[in-house]
Amino acid sequence: MLEFAQSQVILYLTIALTLFVPGYFMLLAFFDKEKLSLLERFIISSGLSILILDFLMLFLFRIGIIFTKTSLILTLIIFSFCCFAVYKKRFEKSLEATKRNFFLTFSSKQLLLIGLFIFLAIFLRTAYLQNSLPPSSTDLAHHMYWSKLFSETGKIQDYTQSDIIKENEIYQIASPRPISDFVIGEHLIFSAINLISGASFFSAFPVLIIFFINIFGLLAIFILSLQLFKEHPQNSNIAIFTLFFSGALFAIDPPQAKYIGGGLIGNMLGNLIIPLTFYFYIRYLREKEVILLFFALFFSMGLFYTHHLSGLIFLLTFAGFIIFSVLFNFKETKNIILGQKKILLSPLLFSFLIFALIFVSIIYTPTYLKNSAVNTVVGTIKKVEHTGLSLLQFRNILGEARFAFGFLGFFLLLFFYKKSVFKYSFLLLISWTTVIMLISLAPNLVKISIPSSRVANYGVYPLVLLSSFAIVSVFKKNVAEKDLTSSLTKKLILSAFLLLLAFTFLSGFDGSVFYLKQNNNNSNTQQTYAVGEYLSSRVNADDLLASDHIYLFADSWIKLFFMRDYYFPSFRANFERYENGIDKDEFCTRDMISNPGGELGKKCFSDLGTNFVMVDKTMDSTQFQKLNNFWQVYSNNEINVYYRKK
């Protein structure tokens, strides 16, 4: 018990050191305590720390320092100490006179609502994620393979995999080929936490980190809302409803909630860093201070080292924002551009540009740039899942309430645009929503070939902001203000408002009941882990292992027991992947499981040297039991393992 408590304390201290401390001290070095409230500083520190950690680890790798517990702790402490020294030098004289503002301008009732919505977000996520522990999802296993590889080797390895190919009528494992499906920033966080805390990749810690990132993502959209609607008289109420739509509903709406346990790390990181990036750009346009632009550019650069899809969404949104600004706000945009020459030539920005150039060209170039992966994203769309969603599918991914209120807010935004004091907030939301809709519903129009459902997930945050704007715009005069014509009118409108919120919440919760009831995942995952432990001690270096991905639960985690290759063990994928003529051009992985006694199955076993097979005990054991050249060497409640006689 004492050992468990100690490990938990170490883990949480590690999380604080890696995902909060460096960002907090960097903000101290640049901003005094009046410029950023403690609440903003706390939220921004999380996303900033992730980027700092990535950049520091990439720098260590380039100068040949191995990743160890000692090297990482020392690097983070030295960086934080240097930032603190800068802070003392710059702001020492004004320390006593600085006012500390934690909660911005919220009233006590508003703070109560904020606390309630954050509690609901955490509570409902926790209820859902109990079925994701220990970790079991395929995507998370793929990511953790690379994180574990970096931890074990102490350095960054190339992203490669070895495929099954047919050459001279012989099936064989090809030489490793580069892959561009991953971005380095998705993995270094987990490698660092594993090395410093010693937490196992098979424990709850990977899901816990994604959970942490997701919570701070909704807090990031909260402070972005305060900036976007700063001139609006109800900006605090809009921000509170933003927490409701992004917190409680985000947690209970299955298409988004399962992304946390599902291990879609890039999406979660994108939904944290994109709002923080826009936060600094909006503040810069309003306040015209070079430090704000510096942080906007720093977050922009970090985004492309974190997740390529998130970077693309940001880039397209930003491009649309510039176009809309020139078209619909030309005079003010022109004045800003012409009036910022001194800022653009400032030493701080010049230093950042030099840093970015050196980092990209010398220290580490993202794999998707080195492997020309951009060519696979821009151009003709081939895969079915890239061809776009129907409006109904788009609505289901976003959630019914956010979809309805979001588009109401979109049209209200267009109506109020000319009356707005600060038009850039509206233009950003219009661009953000338009880009998501185009790529999700009609990717052929923009020739962007990426998974449409993944893109639609990014629509949650702009729709959240628009939904909050819609609710406040409709009810503000009747609920917030006191000049109502009668007590009866006030009660009727207030009742309608509360009923609307209740319906919104219950409709979102209804869609999650099925997911919250599932509770047998833990047992199935443990069964698979047990097989992994058994095989890792018995499979020789020359032996190959075939697995089934269709019926086995958490089978992708088997690769973490071996760490031999991203594609080890080979696995039978979903049948449609062999039939669509795009995803699979070999059939060994299919027939070695489905028809091991057939001509192709026998040849594949022989050519590849595959000696071990793990299959579902109920669905695929029969065909192996009928064959005399397979021995059953292991069995549990879910899985049978067979050994091929030589």
Helix and strand totals (H; E) in the chain = 33, 9
In DSSP notation, 77-141 reads HHHHHHHHHHHHHHHGGGTTT----SSTT--HHHHHHHHHHHHHHHHHHHHHHGGG-S---HHHH
Specify the pLDDT at position 274: 95
Give this prediction's pTM: 0.89
Specify the pLDDT at position 194: 95
How confident is the model over 436-446, as a mean pLDDT? 80
Residue 571 has pLDDT above 80, yes or no: yes
Whether residue 413 contacts residue 469, with contact meaning beta carbons closer than 8 Å, is answered with yes
Whether residue 187 contacts residue 150, with contact meaning beta carbons closer than 8 Å, is answered with yes
Higher pLDDT, 495 or 313: 313
Higher pLDDT, 543 or 500: 543
Place of tokens 């051009």: 585
The predicted-structure confidence for 382-414, as pLDDT tens digits, reads as follows: 555 556 677 888 887 777 778 888 888 888 888
Lowest mean pLDDT among 30-34, 128-132, 194-198, 331-335: 128-132
Lowest mean pLDDT among 147-156, 211-220, 339-348: 339-348
Residue 47 has pLDDT above 90, yes or no: yes
The predicted-structure confidence for 221-265, as pLDDT tens digits, reads as follows: 999 999 999 888 888 889 988 988 887 766 555 445 555 655 578
Higher pLDDT, 269 or 499: 269
How high does pLDDT run on average in the chain? 83
Which of 371, 307, 308, 449 is closest to 176 using CA atoms?
A: 371
The predicted-structure confidence for 122-181, as pLDDT tens digits, reads as follows: 887 777 777 667 888 888 899 999 999 999 999 999 888 888 888 888 888 888 888 877
Specify the pLDDT at position 504: 64
Residue 448 has pLDDT above 80, yes or no: no
Distances (CA, A) of 379 to 371, 444, 531: 16, 9, 43
How confident is the model over 360-375, as a mean pLDDT? 74
Specify the pLDDT at position 37: 87
Phi and psi for 432 in degrees, rounded to 5? -55, -50
Specify the pLDDT at position 332: 82
Measured CA to CA, the distance from residue 56 to residue 76 in angstroms comes to 8
Which of 147, 124, 149 is closest to 261 using CA atoms?
A: 124
Specify the pLDDT at position 417: 79
120-126: long-range pairs with CB below 8 Å, 24+:
120/247, 120/248, 120/251, 121/215, 121/218, 121/243, 121/246, 121/247, 121/248, 121/250, 121/251, 122/215, 122/251, 124/248, 124/251, 124/252, 124/257, 124/512, 125/211, 125/214, 125/215, 125/251, 125/257, 125/260
Specify the pLDDT at position 479: 46
Residue 548 host element (H or E): strand 544-548
Residue 284 has pLDDT above 90, yes or no: yes
Specify the pLDDT at position 321: 93
Which of 59, 62, 52 is closest to 26 using CA atoms?
A: 52
Specify the pLDDT at position 334: 80
Specify the pLDDT at position 513: 55
Specify the pLDDT at position 354: 92
Residue 484 has pLDDT above 50, yes or no: no
Whether residue 466 contacts residue 409, with contact meaning beta carbons closer than 8 Å, is answered with yes
Measured CA to CA, the distance from residue 447 to residue 380 in angstroms comes to 6
Q: What burial class does residue 151 get, using C-beta atoms within 10 Å of its C-beta: 0-12 exposed, 13-18 middle, 19+ buried?
A: buried
Bridge partner list, 610: 544
Question: What percent of the chain is predicted at pLDDT more than 90?
Answer: 33
Specify the pLDDT at position 378: 56
- Is residue 492 very low, low, confident or very high in pLDDT (cuts 50, 70, 90)? low
Residue 517 has pLDDT above 70, yes or no: no
Provide the 10 A C-beta neighbour count for residue 94.
Answer: 11
- Is residue 642 very low, low, confident or very high in pLDDT (cuts 50, 70, 90)? very high
277-285: long-range pairs with CB below 8 Å, 24+:
277/303, 277/314, 278/224, 278/428, 279/44, 279/220, 279/223, 279/224, 279/227, 281/318, 281/428, 282/224, 282/227, 282/228, 282/424, 282/425, 282/428, 283/227, 285/336, 285/424
Lowest mean pLDDT among 35-44, 342-351, 371-380, 427-436: 371-380
Lowest mean pLDDT among 283-292, 507-516, 542-551, 556-565: 507-516
Coil, strand or helix at 363 = helix
